Amino acid sequence: MARVTFITGGARSGKSRIAEEQAVLHGEPLLYVATGSGGDGEMGERIRRHRQRRGAAWQTIEEPVALAEVLLGHDGYFRATLVDCVTLWLTNMLLATDDREGVLAEVRRTAGLFAGLQTPLYLVSNEVGMGIVPDTPLGRTFRDLAGEANEILAQAADEAYVVFSGLPLKLK
């Protein structure tokens, strides 16, 4: 059974860097599951910087929705897997289906796979509940969904961290 580590924090908190630093300790090869896509120019630049920082040890798979299938399909082939990020995965599913309960069911299904994984897994997610209350129904739905999903994934993980100002605080 592989260890599952959940890492959350605010935007630009250093959570991705912390997850990468922990994952590389397992050796090569490493799998990076990107749930976002190129999008606009600024997002493309972020992706470019992340890839450059990671280097050649990482194989990247871009998968916006079918996370469980990627985890199962690549389990045992890498020394560690890093998913960045859960928040974009949730966004993609919610916008594609407009079904909050269906998204949470997929989160629960994915969390249920953790115990059977052979490859150590690192999940990066944004903490969105510490900011202002969104002024749109979709924004509030997403904030609540992300909070519930983070709770499900953190409880299912072996370890959980929150990152503030580049410093990880172990929660469990």
Q: What predicted TM-score, i.e. pTM, was given to this entire model? A: 0.94
Q: What confidence tens digit (pLDDT) does each residue in 21-59 have?
A: 999 999 999 999 999 866 677 777 777 777 777 788 899
**What integer pLDDT is reported at residue 44 of this predicted model?**
72
* Domains of the chain, earliest start first: 4-170 (3.40.50.300)
User: Which residues neighbour 171 within 8 Å (Cβ) at sequence distance 6 or greater?
Assistant: 154, 160, 161, 162
- Residue 58 CA to residue 40 CA, distance in Å, equals 24
**What are the residue numbers of the active site?**
50
